[in-house]
A and B are shown apart, each in its own frame.
Chain A
Amino acid sequence: MADEFMKGFGILVTAGLGWMVIAGWYKTPSFQGTQLLGEYPESPDVFSQIAIYLGESLFYFAIFGALAFWVLVPAINQARQAYDDRS
Protein backbone atom coordinates (compact mmCIF):
# COMPACT_ATOMS: atom_id res chain seq x y z
CA MET A 1 0.00 0.00 0.00
CA ALA A 2 2.73 2.44 0.97
CA ASP A 3 4.70 1.50 -2.13
CA GLU A 4 1.79 2.34 -4.37
CA PHE A 5 1.33 5.66 -2.65
CA MET A 6 5.01 6.45 -3.25
CA LYS A 7 4.81 5.47 -6.90
CA GLY A 8 1.85 7.75 -7.48
CA PHE A 9 3.44 10.54 -5.50
CA GLY A 10 6.69 10.22 -7.44
CA ILE A 11 4.80 10.48 -10.72
CA LEU A 12 2.83 13.47 -9.46
CA VAL A 13 5.92 15.34 -8.26
CA THR A 14 8.21 14.57 -11.20
CA ALA A 15 5.70 15.16 -13.96
CA GLY A 16 4.31 18.16 -12.10
CA LEU A 17 7.75 19.77 -11.92
CA GLY A 18 8.26 19.17 -15.63
CA TRP A 19 4.86 20.66 -16.42
CA MET A 20 5.63 23.64 -14.17
CA VAL A 21 8.86 24.40 -16.03
CA ILE A 22 7.30 24.20 -19.48
CA ALA A 23 4.30 26.21 -18.33
CA GLY A 24 6.69 28.79 -16.93
CA TRP A 25 8.41 29.00 -20.31
CA TYR A 26 5.40 29.01 -22.61
CA LYS A 27 2.28 29.84 -20.60
CA THR A 28 3.54 32.84 -18.63
CA PRO A 29 3.31 35.88 -20.89
CA SER A 30 4.43 38.35 -18.20
CA PHE A 31 5.37 38.26 -14.55
CA GLN A 32 2.53 40.57 -13.49
CA GLY A 33 -0.24 38.79 -15.37
CA THR A 34 -1.43 35.21 -15.37
CA GLN A 35 1.29 32.76 -14.46
CA LEU A 36 1.53 29.11 -15.61
CA LEU A 37 -2.06 29.18 -16.95
CA GLY A 38 -1.73 31.88 -19.57
CA GLU A 39 -2.09 31.65 -23.33
CA TYR A 40 0.33 29.79 -25.54
CA PRO A 41 2.35 31.96 -27.94
CA GLU A 42 0.94 32.33 -31.46
CA SER A 43 2.64 30.43 -34.27
CA PRO A 44 5.24 28.51 -32.24
CA ASP A 45 8.24 27.01 -34.04
CA VAL A 46 8.96 23.30 -34.13
CA PHE A 47 10.84 23.14 -30.82
CA SER A 48 8.15 25.14 -29.07
CA GLN A 49 5.49 22.82 -30.49
CA ILE A 50 7.41 19.82 -29.16
CA ALA A 51 7.79 21.48 -25.73
CA ILE A 52 4.09 22.44 -25.60
CA TYR A 53 3.07 18.89 -26.50
CA LEU A 54 5.46 17.56 -23.84
CA GLY A 55 4.03 19.93 -21.26
CA GLU A 56 0.46 18.90 -22.02
CA SER A 57 1.33 15.21 -21.78
CA LEU A 58 3.24 15.75 -18.53
CA PHE A 59 0.18 17.51 -17.08
CA TYR A 60 -2.15 14.63 -17.83
CA PHE A 61 0.49 12.07 -16.88
CA ALA A 62 0.84 13.71 -13.46
CA ILE A 63 -2.91 13.51 -12.84
CA PHE A 64 -3.76 10.14 -14.33
CA GLY A 65 -0.52 8.48 -13.24
CA ALA A 66 -1.13 9.42 -9.62
CA LEU A 67 -4.81 8.42 -9.88
CA ALA A 68 -3.83 5.08 -11.38
CA PHE A 69 -1.59 4.15 -8.47
CA TRP A 70 -3.78 5.64 -5.76
CA VAL A 71 -7.21 4.52 -6.99
CA LEU A 72 -7.08 2.14 -9.92
CA VAL A 73 -4.42 -0.33 -8.78
CA PRO A 74 -5.75 -0.60 -5.17
CA ALA A 75 -9.28 -1.05 -6.54
CA ILE A 76 -8.11 -3.83 -8.85
CA ASN A 77 -6.27 -5.49 -5.97
CA GLN A 78 -9.32 -5.27 -3.75
CA ALA A 79 -11.55 -6.64 -6.44
CA ARG A 80 -9.18 -9.51 -7.10
CA GLN A 81 -8.97 -10.29 -3.40
CA ALA A 82 -12.75 -10.22 -3.07
CA TYR A 83 -13.03 -12.48 -6.08
CA ASP A 84 -10.53 -14.91 -4.56
CA ASP A 85 -12.28 -14.88 -1.19
CA ARG A 86 -15.63 -15.63 -2.79
CA SER A 87 -14.55 -18.85 -4.44
Chain B
Amino acid sequence: MTEDTDTTEARADGGGTGIVPPDDETPTWSERKARKQGLARTTYEYFERARREDQQLRQESDYVERDVLGFPAWPHETIRNLALTSFFVGAIVFLSATLPPHIDAPANSGVTPPTILPDWYLYWSFGLLKLGPLNPDLALLGGQKLMADRTFGVLANLVVVGAIAIVPFLNKGSARRPVEQPFWASVGVFGVILSITLAVLSVKNLFPMDSHLTFDLTFLVPFVGAFITYAVLKSMREGYMFELNRRYYRLRPPK
Protein backbone atom coordinates (compact mmCIF):
# COMPACT_ATOMS: atom_id res chain seq x y z
CA MET B 1 0.00 0.00 0.00
CA THR B 2 1.57 3.29 -1.08
CA GLU B 3 0.39 6.83 -0.47
CA ASP B 4 0.27 7.65 -4.18
CA THR B 5 -2.47 5.17 -5.01
CA ASP B 6 -4.54 5.98 -1.93
CA THR B 7 -6.52 8.80 -3.49
CA THR B 8 -9.84 8.16 -1.78
CA GLU B 9 -8.67 9.36 1.60
CA ALA B 10 -9.76 12.91 2.44
CA ARG B 11 -6.99 15.35 3.13
CA ALA B 12 -7.31 18.36 5.40
CA ASP B 13 -4.40 20.37 3.94
CA GLY B 14 -6.51 22.13 1.37
CA GLY B 15 -5.26 19.96 -1.45
CA GLY B 16 -8.33 17.80 -1.78
CA THR B 17 -11.97 18.47 -2.32
CA GLY B 18 -12.78 18.15 1.37
CA ILE B 19 -15.87 16.11 0.59
CA VAL B 20 -16.05 13.02 2.77
CA PRO B 21 -18.29 10.23 1.51
CA PRO B 22 -20.89 9.29 4.15
CA ASP B 23 -20.45 6.02 6.00
CA ASP B 24 -23.07 4.03 7.89
CA GLU B 25 -22.82 6.21 10.99
CA THR B 26 -23.41 9.51 9.20
CA PRO B 27 -27.06 10.59 9.29
CA THR B 28 -28.55 11.70 6.01
CA TRP B 29 -30.18 15.10 5.66
CA SER B 30 -33.66 13.64 5.76
CA GLU B 31 -32.75 11.76 8.93
CA ARG B 32 -31.45 14.94 10.52
CA LYS B 33 -34.65 16.74 9.58
CA ALA B 34 -36.81 13.87 10.86
CA ARG B 35 -35.19 14.09 14.26
CA LYS B 36 -36.13 17.71 14.75
CA GLN B 37 -39.75 17.45 15.85
CA GLY B 38 -42.73 15.44 16.83
CA LEU B 39 -42.92 11.71 17.36
CA ALA B 40 -39.74 11.11 15.40
CA ARG B 41 -37.83 13.27 17.84
CA THR B 42 -39.35 11.44 20.83
CA THR B 43 -38.48 8.09 19.32
CA TYR B 44 -34.98 9.20 18.53
CA GLU B 45 -34.42 10.47 22.05
CA TYR B 46 -35.84 7.31 23.52
CA PHE B 47 -33.54 5.03 21.54
CA GLU B 48 -30.60 7.30 22.08
CA ARG B 49 -31.21 7.16 25.81
CA ALA B 50 -31.56 3.37 25.70
CA ARG B 51 -28.30 3.11 23.81
CA ARG B 52 -26.53 5.38 26.29
CA GLU B 53 -27.82 3.40 29.27
CA ASP B 54 -26.74 0.20 27.56
CA GLN B 55 -23.27 1.61 27.04
CA GLN B 56 -23.01 2.81 30.64
CA LEU B 57 -24.13 -0.55 31.95
CA ARG B 58 -21.55 -2.33 29.86
CA GLN B 59 -18.78 -0.01 31.01
CA GLU B 60 -19.77 -0.45 34.65
CA SER B 61 -19.93 -4.24 34.55
CA ASP B 62 -16.81 -6.31 35.03
CA TYR B 63 -17.62 -8.59 32.14
CA VAL B 64 -15.32 -8.48 29.16
CA GLU B 65 -17.22 -6.97 26.29
CA ARG B 66 -17.14 -9.27 23.34
CA ASP B 67 -18.31 -8.18 19.94
CA VAL B 68 -16.82 -11.06 17.99
CA LEU B 69 -18.55 -14.16 16.72
CA GLY B 70 -16.02 -16.52 18.26
CA PHE B 71 -12.47 -17.04 19.34
CA PRO B 72 -9.76 -18.43 17.07
CA ALA B 73 -9.20 -22.18 17.18
CA TRP B 74 -5.50 -21.67 17.86
CA PRO B 75 -4.45 -20.87 20.49
CA HIS B 76 -7.59 -19.95 22.44
CA GLU B 77 -9.92 -22.86 21.84
CA THR B 78 -7.17 -25.45 21.55
CA ILE B 79 -5.52 -24.59 24.83
CA ARG B 80 -8.83 -24.42 26.65
CA ASN B 81 -9.84 -27.80 25.23
CA LEU B 82 -6.45 -29.28 26.10
CA ALA B 83 -6.82 -28.05 29.67
CA LEU B 84 -10.30 -29.56 29.99
CA THR B 85 -9.21 -32.82 28.34
CA SER B 86 -6.17 -33.26 30.55
CA PHE B 87 -8.30 -32.53 33.62
CA PHE B 88 -10.76 -35.29 32.81
CA VAL B 89 -8.10 -37.75 31.62
CA GLY B 90 -6.19 -37.07 34.83
CA ALA B 91 -9.31 -37.68 36.90
CA ILE B 92 -9.96 -40.98 35.09
CA VAL B 93 -6.33 -42.15 35.45
CA PHE B 94 -6.25 -41.15 39.11
CA LEU B 95 -9.51 -42.92 39.93
CA SER B 96 -8.64 -46.07 37.98
CA ALA B 97 -5.26 -46.23 39.69
CA THR B 98 -6.56 -45.66 43.21
CA LEU B 99 -9.91 -47.44 42.98
CA PRO B 100 -9.39 -50.70 41.07
CA PRO B 101 -12.72 -51.99 39.81
CA HIS B 102 -14.51 -54.90 41.38
CA ILE B 103 -14.56 -57.89 39.03
CA ASP B 104 -17.60 -60.05 39.55
CA ALA B 105 -17.94 -63.77 39.05
CA PRO B 106 -18.52 -64.75 35.41
CA ALA B 107 -22.14 -64.86 34.30
CA ASN B 108 -23.83 -68.23 34.34
CA SER B 109 -25.48 -68.65 30.95
CA GLY B 110 -27.57 -71.58 32.25
CA VAL B 111 -29.59 -69.47 34.69
CA THR B 112 -32.04 -66.70 33.82
CA PRO B 113 -31.40 -63.66 36.01
CA PRO B 114 -34.33 -62.61 38.24
CA THR B 115 -34.51 -59.07 36.81
CA ILE B 116 -34.32 -58.58 33.07
CA LEU B 117 -33.77 -54.99 31.99
CA PRO B 118 -32.13 -53.29 29.04
CA ASP B 119 -29.27 -50.86 29.52
CA TRP B 120 -30.31 -47.77 31.42
CA TYR B 121 -30.33 -45.50 28.36
CA LEU B 122 -33.02 -47.68 26.78
CA TYR B 123 -35.36 -47.62 29.78
CA TRP B 124 -37.64 -45.05 28.07
CA SER B 125 -38.16 -47.42 25.15
CA PHE B 126 -38.76 -50.28 27.57
CA GLY B 127 -41.31 -48.11 29.38
CA LEU B 128 -43.14 -47.45 26.10
CA LEU B 129 -43.69 -51.19 25.81
CA LYS B 130 -45.69 -51.07 29.05
CA LEU B 131 -48.49 -48.78 27.85
CA GLY B 132 -51.05 -51.59 27.90
CA PRO B 133 -53.69 -49.59 29.86
CA LEU B 134 -53.73 -47.00 27.07
CA ASN B 135 -54.50 -49.57 24.39
CA PRO B 136 -58.10 -48.77 23.35
CA ASP B 137 -60.70 -51.48 23.10
CA LEU B 138 -63.51 -51.17 20.63
CA ALA B 139 -67.20 -51.69 21.47
CA LEU B 140 -67.62 -52.87 17.89
CA LEU B 141 -65.39 -55.84 18.54
CA GLY B 142 -67.26 -56.64 21.74
CA GLY B 143 -64.69 -55.03 24.03
CA GLN B 144 -61.83 -56.72 22.26
CA LYS B 145 -58.63 -54.82 21.66
CA LEU B 146 -57.72 -53.88 18.14
CA MET B 147 -54.16 -55.01 18.57
CA ALA B 148 -52.14 -56.83 21.17
CA ASP B 149 -50.54 -54.78 23.95
CA ARG B 150 -47.07 -55.62 22.69
CA THR B 151 -47.95 -54.37 19.18
CA PHE B 152 -49.29 -51.20 20.77
CA GLY B 153 -46.00 -50.74 22.62
CA VAL B 154 -43.96 -51.12 19.45
CA LEU B 155 -46.25 -48.63 17.69
CA ALA B 156 -45.76 -46.18 20.58
CA ASN B 157 -42.01 -46.47 20.04
CA LEU B 158 -42.47 -45.68 16.36
CA VAL B 159 -44.63 -42.64 17.18
CA VAL B 160 -42.14 -41.24 19.68
CA VAL B 161 -39.12 -41.78 17.45
CA GLY B 162 -41.04 -40.29 14.53
CA ALA B 163 -41.93 -37.19 16.57
CA ILE B 164 -38.28 -36.71 17.53
CA ALA B 165 -37.28 -37.09 13.89
CA ILE B 166 -39.80 -34.46 12.78
CA VAL B 167 -38.75 -31.78 15.31
CA PRO B 168 -35.72 -30.47 13.33
CA PHE B 169 -37.98 -29.89 10.33
CA LEU B 170 -40.54 -28.01 12.42
CA ASN B 171 -38.00 -25.71 14.08
CA LYS B 172 -34.53 -25.02 12.81
CA GLY B 173 -33.45 -23.83 16.22
CA SER B 174 -31.91 -20.42 15.64
CA ALA B 175 -32.39 -19.38 19.26
CA ARG B 176 -29.31 -19.13 21.37
CA ARG B 177 -31.05 -19.21 24.72
CA PRO B 178 -34.33 -20.80 25.85
CA VAL B 179 -35.76 -17.35 26.66
CA GLU B 180 -35.86 -16.50 23.00
CA GLN B 181 -38.29 -19.30 22.14
CA PRO B 182 -40.22 -20.30 25.28
CA PHE B 183 -42.55 -22.67 23.44
CA TRP B 184 -39.83 -24.80 21.95
CA ALA B 185 -37.90 -24.74 25.20
CA SER B 186 -40.97 -26.10 26.99
CA VAL B 187 -41.36 -28.77 24.30
CA GLY B 188 -37.78 -29.80 24.97
CA VAL B 189 -38.36 -29.90 28.73
CA PHE B 190 -41.48 -31.99 28.09
CA GLY B 191 -39.41 -34.51 26.14
CA VAL B 192 -36.65 -34.70 28.72
CA ILE B 193 -39.08 -35.21 31.61
CA LEU B 194 -41.11 -37.71 29.60
CA SER B 195 -38.01 -39.79 28.92
CA ILE B 196 -37.23 -39.82 32.65
CA THR B 197 -40.78 -40.70 33.71
CA LEU B 198 -40.97 -43.42 31.05
CA ALA B 199 -37.72 -44.81 32.43
CA VAL B 200 -39.30 -44.88 35.88
CA LEU B 201 -42.38 -46.57 34.39
CA SER B 202 -40.22 -49.29 32.88
CA VAL B 203 -38.98 -50.26 36.35
CA LYS B 204 -42.31 -49.70 38.10
CA ASN B 205 -42.04 -53.06 39.86
CA LEU B 206 -38.83 -51.92 41.53
CA PHE B 207 -39.97 -48.34 42.12
CA PRO B 208 -41.32 -47.66 45.62
CA MET B 209 -44.66 -46.20 44.50
CA ASP B 210 -48.12 -47.45 43.62
CA SER B 211 -47.92 -48.63 40.01
CA HIS B 212 -51.21 -46.95 38.96
CA LEU B 213 -50.04 -43.66 40.43
CA THR B 214 -46.72 -44.09 38.63
CA PHE B 215 -48.56 -44.67 35.37
CA ASP B 216 -50.64 -41.52 35.79
CA LEU B 217 -47.70 -39.39 36.87
CA THR B 218 -45.70 -40.60 33.86
CA PHE B 219 -47.89 -38.49 31.60
CA LEU B 220 -48.86 -35.76 34.06
CA VAL B 221 -45.42 -34.67 35.25
CA PRO B 222 -44.08 -33.82 31.75
CA PHE B 223 -47.04 -31.48 31.14
CA VAL B 224 -46.54 -29.83 34.53
CA GLY B 225 -42.84 -29.33 33.79
CA ALA B 226 -43.56 -27.94 30.35
CA PHE B 227 -46.14 -25.46 31.70
CA ILE B 228 -43.80 -24.28 34.44
CA THR B 229 -40.98 -23.84 31.93
CA TYR B 230 -43.20 -21.91 29.57
CA ALA B 231 -44.50 -19.65 32.33
CA VAL B 232 -41.04 -18.94 33.73
CA LEU B 233 -39.47 -18.25 30.34
CA LYS B 234 -42.42 -16.14 29.23
CA SER B 235 -42.18 -14.00 32.35
CA MET B 236 -38.44 -13.66 31.80
CA ARG B 237 -39.11 -12.05 28.42
CA GLU B 238 -40.26 -8.86 30.05
CA GLY B 239 -38.29 -6.11 31.62
CA TYR B 240 -35.36 -3.90 30.88
CA MET B 241 -32.66 -6.54 31.22
CA PHE B 242 -34.26 -8.75 28.59
CA GLU B 243 -34.36 -5.91 26.10
CA LEU B 244 -30.76 -5.12 26.89
CA ASN B 245 -29.73 -8.73 26.43
CA ARG B 246 -31.66 -9.02 23.21
CA ARG B 247 -29.72 -6.14 21.77
CA TYR B 248 -26.50 -7.52 23.18
CA TYR B 249 -27.00 -10.97 21.73
CA ARG B 250 -28.23 -9.76 18.36
CA LEU B 251 -24.91 -10.71 16.81
CA ARG B 252 -25.47 -14.17 15.43
CA PRO B 253 -23.64 -16.56 13.20
CA PRO B 254 -25.17 -16.73 9.72
CA LYS B 255 -27.88 -19.32 9.28
Name A's B-contacting residues (CB within 8 A): 1, 17, 20-21, 24-25, 31
Tell whether, in the assembled complex, residue A31 and residue B99 are in contact, meaning their CB atoms are under 8 Å apart: no
Q: Are A17 and B95 in contact (CB under 8 A)?
A: yes
Chain B 81-97 interface 0/1 with A at a Cβ cutoff of 8 Å (1 = within): 00000000001001100
Cβ A21 vs Cβ B99 within 8 A: yes
- Whether B98 lies near A31 (C-beta < 8 A) is no
Q: What are 13 sample pairs from A and B whose C-beta atoms fall under 8 A apart?
A: A1-B62, A17-B91, A17-B94, A17-B95, A20-B95, A20-B99, A21-B94, A21-B98, A21-B99, A24-B98, A24-B99, A31-B102, A31-B104
Interface size class of B (residues with CB under 8 A): under 10
Q: A35: nearest residue on chain B (CB-CB)?
A: B102
Collect the chain A residues with CB atoms within 8 Å of residue B62's CB. Answer: 1
Instruction: Please state if A21 and B95 are interface contacts (CB–CB under 8 Å).
Output: yes
A24 to B95, CA, bound (A): 10
Report Cα–Cα, A21/B98, bound state, in Å. Answer: 6
Q: Give the chain A neighbours of B102 by CB distance below 8 A.
A: 31
Top 10 nearest A-B pairs by Cβ distance? A31-B102, A21-B98, A24-B99, A21-B99, A17-B94, A17-B91, A1-B62, A31-B104, A17-B95, A21-B95
* B147 to A: closest C-beta gap in Å: 41
Q: Tell me the minimal C-beta distance from A9 to chain B in angstroms.
A: 11
Q: How far does the Cβ of A48 sit from chain B's closest Cβ, in whole Å? A: 16
- Residues 88-133 of B contacting A (Cβ, < 8 Å): 91, 94-95, 98-99, 102, 104
Residues of B within 8 A of A20 (CB): 95, 99
Question: Which of chain B's residues has its CB closest to A31's CB?
Answer: B102
Closest chain-B Cβ to A7's Cβ sits at a distance in Å of 16
Within 8 A of A (CB), among B176-205: none
Q: In the complex, A17 Cα to B95 Cα: how many Å?
A: 8
Complex Cα gap A21–B58 (Å): 45
> Apart from A1-B62, A17-B95, A31-B102, what 10 extra A-B contacts exist at CB < 8 Å?
A17-B91, A17-B94, A20-B95, A20-B99, A21-B94, A21-B95, A21-B99, A24-B99, A25-B99, A31-B104
Nearest-CB residue, chain A, relative to B102: A31
A25 to B99, CA, bound (A): 7
The CA of A1 and the CA of B62, in the complex, are separated in Å by: 9
Residues of A within 8 A of B99 (CB): 20-21, 24-25
A66, chain B: closest CB distance, angstroms = 17
**CB-defined contacts of A17 to chain B, threshold 8 Å:** 91, 94-95
Q: How far is the CA of A31 from the CA of B104 in the complex (A)?
A: 9
With the chains together, A32 CA to B212 CA distance in Å? 30
Query: Which of B91, B94, B98 has the most chain A CB atoms inside 10 A of its CB?
Result: B98
Shortest B97–chain A CB gap in Å is 9
Write the B234-253 contact mask toward A (1 if CB under 8 angstroms, else 0).
00000000000000000000
Q: How far is the CB of B123 from chain A (nearest CB, A)?
A: 21
B189-230: CB near A (< 8 Å → 1, else 0) gives 000000000000000000000000000000000000000000
Shortest CB–CB separation between residue B106 and chain A, in angstroms?
15
